[in-house]
Amino acid sequence: MKNLISMRDLSKEDIMQLMDTAAKIEKGEIVPNMQRKLAALLFFEPSTRTMFSFDTAMKRMNGDTIIMSGAKNTSAKKGETFADTLQTIAQYSDIIIMRSPTEGAARYAAEVVDLPVVNAGDGANQHPTQALLDLYSIIKTQGKLDNLKIGLAGDLRFGRTVHSLAQAMAVFGADFKFISPSFLQMPEYIKDDLIEQNIKFEEFKDIEGNIDDLDILYVTRIQKERFADPEDYEKVKGSYVLNKTMLGNVKDNFKVLHPLPRVDEIHTDVDDTKFAYYFPQAKNGVYTRQAIISILLGEV
Amino acid sequence: MSQVKTIKVNAIKNGTVIDHIAAGKVLKVIDLLNLTGDNSVMLGMNLSSNKIGKKDIIKIENRELSKEEANSIALISPSATLIIINDFEVVNKTSLEMPEYIEEHIICPNPKCITNSEEIPSKYYINNAEPATARCLYCEKKYLVEDLKIKI
């Protein structure tokens, strides 16, 4: 593995190697040393969680980071091409970790520079490191990735995390429930991929009544701005808020995941139940990103 | 009242004939091949064809299409046949094959795709199924080939 651009590029073996490495790092069985290694974190669109997570991952391994955050700081304002910006930053660093609103930006970056490139999110396309930390959270809580029943709820149309996760779990024969308002359904191109792989999925409009047979419910935020009329949002938002009373008949192994930040789609009364796993999930992100960086830099 | 019409498309001495173009697609082919130069071009539309029912045809004098150009035509009309004429004789006649991969000739319809904001060629993988689809290497969106805008 030279770069991490899209879940579509990863084989089942690649994914399992990453899971195994993350687990060994978490248990302290391997301690990658990134002393004198520098990661360039290029965030052309705002991010706190993902950027901090990568920054933490690098520093936990004694490595260091240089950070560019927000397009206003880029040389693009001075007329420099994207390729030139990348080539220059590649002179300073050992690995490039980038987020961009432009879809395909990380793939292009990997063509331009000789360093490993990690896609930390490109528009509505891919967010593979999030998908991998989600997989790591699933394997930790379920003991396996194969043949699980997974619910994805919220904005499935624009949410890149759910796109990457659906593709990743398809490799392991997941059975999906997609729960969203009709105009925020999973895009056709993702559903086509699942059909080609003989993956089962059903589509629903309410969380309530559709979670009792699930192993995992993955909740994402629905942005009010997606609705043309704010009243339409008020009408449907209750269908996409998970609360404690809905958890009465869920399976014992059931876990709720969320990429965070949460607004009000998971009521805080869920936080104290044994089903809430979104904060440990964020911590898993650090182990997973340590594993990704270590593998790409050949340190494990 | 029925009316018999005769359409005569003259033979050419040297050049290329693209036959069996799906009816109605010939203008797209002309657009694709950028036929605005000095070559004489003759075209026929909605002609009867034993092979495909109705067809369009185009004859370009004094220009031999490259394999790459011919492959691009397959994106518009996979049924087309490429015929090279030399001194009024057919010297080569080939069915077009849909390319598996094509660089530069597809304009990605996704406005957020990097190929629409940077000066870089688009790269598409073609799935020659029925209907044929194409996936952008960069933004990973998948489209029906017949919906794509092709350029040379």
Q: List, for residues A136-170, the tens digit of each pLDDT value.
A: 999 999 999 999 999 999 999 888 899 989 999 99
Contact B93, B83 (CB under 8 A): yes
* Burial zone of A68 (CB within 10 Å; 0-12 exposed, 13-18 middle, 19+ buried): middle
Residue of A6, A83, A102 with shortest CB distance to B140:
A6
The whole-angstrom distance between A122's CA and the closest CA on chain B is 8
The token pair at A289 is: 């990103």
- d(CA A192, CA A222) in angstroms, rounded, equals 23
The token pair at A84 is: 């030139």
State which fold the B15-95 domain adopts. Alpha-Beta Plaits (3.30.70)
What amino acid is encoded at A115 in this protein? Answer: L
Which strands make up the sheet holding B89-95, listed edge to edge?
B41-49, B53-61, B15-22, B81-86, B89-95
Contact B81, B18 (CB under 8 A): yes
Q: What is the arithmetic mean of pLDDT over A38-54?
A: 93
* Catalytic hit among A49, A200, A205, A251: A49
- d(CA A206, CA A179) in angstroms, rounded, equals 6
Specify the DSSP class assigned to residue A77: G
Q: What is the arithmetic mean of pLDDT over A118-140?
A: 95
The whole-angstrom distance between B152's CA and the closest CA on chain A is 22
The pLDDT tens digits of the residues spanning B74-122 come to 888 888 999 999 999 999 998 888 889 988 888 999 999 999 999 999 9
- Res. A73 pLDDT band, cuts 50 70 90: low
What amino acid is encoded at A9 in this protein? Answer: D
- d(CA A70, CA B92) in angstroms, rounded, equals 57
* Catalytic hit among A21, A50, A161, A220: A50
Residues of chain B with CATH 3.30.70.140: 15-95
Estimate the crossing angle of helix A160-170 against helix A188-196, to 10 degrees: 10
Q: Does A30 touch chain B (CB under 8 A)?
A: no
The pLDDT tens digits of the residues spanning A244-268 come to 999 999 999 999 999 998 988 999 9
- d(CA A179, CA A156) in angstroms, rounded, equals 8
In degrees, to the nearest 5, what angle opens at C-alpha A119 toward C-alphas A4 and A173?
A: 60
Question: How many residue pairs from chains A and B have C-beta atoms closer than 8 A?
Answer: 47
The token pair at A40 is: 């360039």
Closest CA to A282 of A128, A144, A66, A137: A137
Contact A56, A25 (CB under 8 A): no
Q: What is the pLDDT of residue B1?
A: 46
A36 is catalytic: no
Its ipTM equals 0.89
Cis omega (within 30 of 0) for bond into A230: no
The whole-angstrom distance between A66's CA and the closest CA on chain B is 24
The residue of chain A with its CA nearest to that of B120 is: A108
The pLDDT tens digits of the residues spanning B31-68 come to 888 776 778 899 999 999 888 899 999 999 998 888 77
Q: Which CATH class is domain B101-150?
A: mainly beta
- d(CA A73, CA A53) in angstroms, rounded, equals 21
Name the β-bridge partners of B126.
B134
Q: What is the pLDDT of residue A260?
A: 92
A50 is catalytic: yes
Q: What is the pLDDT of residue A76?
A: 66
* Catalytic hit among A36, A72, A77, A78: A78
> Is A203's pLDDT higher than 70?
yes
- Res. B28 pLDDT band, cuts 50 70 90: confident
CB-based contact B139 A125, cutoff 8 Å: yes
In degrees, to the nearest 5, what angle opens at C-alpha A126 toward C-alphas A97 and A262?
A: 90
CB-based contact A103 B118, cutoff 8 Å: no
- Res. B152 pLDDT band, cuts 50 70 90: low
- d(CA A133, CA A23) in angstroms, rounded, equals 11
- d(CA A272, CA A118) in angstroms, rounded, equals 34
Closest CA to A122 of B141, B144, B49, B33: B141
Residues of chain B with CATH 2.30.30.20: 101-150
Cis omega (within 30 of 0) for bond into B121: no
Contact B89, B72 (CB under 8 A): no
Number of C-alpha atoms within 13 angstroms, CB side, residue A263? Answer: 8
